[in-house]
């Protein structure tokens, strides 16, 4: 199995602070407005309590992030570090193709555009020449700004995984509902799997990227016509 080569570097204190800012739920890219199908999964009782929520998120982490988001984020980071816009565009297209429903694709585009605006507001020259890529997905925006701020890829993967997990748990807490303390217990249990998930994502080959998640895709597609809903996906 082919493996990517990584430049190992440590993150600075400023870099760590900037990474926390990027992954904060207060970053105005609308992450908190999306449930990625879990709202429908709750309505049809696939997710109904602490245990089923843990099972659902564990499945998304092990089948989704490891085989789609994280390996593509790694490749976007590398392409941007090399200044290879064509390759970055290619990986952005692959990412959108892996978003199997119209809601998921639109979410990706919307968050990409929003993150591009945020980056433009704080690093005016960073987006120049890259907006065709960053406006299509938010992973490219993260990869671009973390290259600029010299945030290592491993820390970016950790931050992205944590942010995704926190957003999903926040949605579950609101909809089921679970108590805030149960939400923290859920986060405490699942976050332990993130480091191993990142290690595995670095070993994912090109042919393995984009593993299908039938339940996730069905929930997302059904959410598009859900009568009463809080979230946009």
For the record, the structure tokens of 36 come out as 């990625």
CB 197 within 8 A of CB 57: no
Quote the CA–CA distance of 108 and 105 in Å, as a whole number. Answer: 5
* Mean per-residue pLDDT, 89-111: 89
173 in any annotated domain: yes
Question: Which whole number is the average pLDDT over 101-108?
Answer: 85
Among residues 184, 194, 202, 204, the alpha carbon closest in space to that of 161 is found at 194
Domain count, the chain: 1
- Decide if 52 is inside a domain: yes
Residues 229, 175: Cα–Cα separation, whole Å: 10
Which residues form the domain of 187? Answer: 37-221
| Alpha carbon distance 66, 71 (integer Å) | 7
pTM over 0.85: yes
The pLDDT tens digits of the residues spanning 45-82 come to 898 999 999 998 999 898 889 999 999 999 999 999 99
Unique residue bearing structure tokens 């393995």: 208
Q: Which of 130, 109, 108 is nearest to 119 (CA)?
A: 130
Q: Whole-angstrom Cα distance, residue 149 to residue 140? A: 14
CATH classification of the domain holding 197: 1.10.4190.10
Structural domain includes residue 65: yes
Residue 15 lies in a domain: no
Angle CA 168–104–94, to nearest 5: 115
Mean pLDDT for the chain?
86
């Amino acid at each position: 199995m082919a493996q990517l080569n990584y430049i190992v570097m440590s993150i600075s204190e400023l870099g760590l602070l900037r990474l926390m800012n990027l992954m904060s739920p207060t970053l105005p890219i609308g992450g908190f407005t999306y449930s990625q199908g879990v709202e429908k999964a709750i309505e049809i009782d696939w997710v109904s309590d602490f245990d089923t929520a843990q099972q659902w998120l564990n499945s998304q982490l092990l089948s989704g992030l490891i085989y789609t988001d994280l390996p593509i984020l790694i490749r976007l980071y590398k392409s941007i570090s090399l200044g290879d816009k064509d390759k970055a565009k290619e990986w952005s297209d692959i990412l959108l193709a892996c978003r199997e429903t119209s809601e998921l694709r639109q979410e990706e585009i919307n968050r990409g555009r929003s993150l591009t605006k945020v980056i433009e507001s704080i690093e005016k020259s960073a987006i120049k020449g890259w907006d065709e890529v960053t406006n299509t997905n938010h992973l490219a925006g993260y990869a671009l700004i973390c290259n600029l701020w010299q945030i290592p890829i491993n820390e970016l993967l950790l931050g992205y995984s944590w942010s995704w997990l926190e957003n999903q748990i926040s949605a579950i807490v609101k909809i089921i509902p679970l108590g805030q303390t149960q939400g923290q217990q859920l986060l405490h249990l699942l976050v332990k799997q993130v480091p191993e998930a990142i290690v595995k994502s670095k070993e994912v080959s090109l042919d393995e990227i984009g593993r299908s998640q039938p339940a996730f895709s069905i929930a997302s597609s059904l959410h598009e016509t859900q009568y009463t809903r809080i979230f946009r996906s």
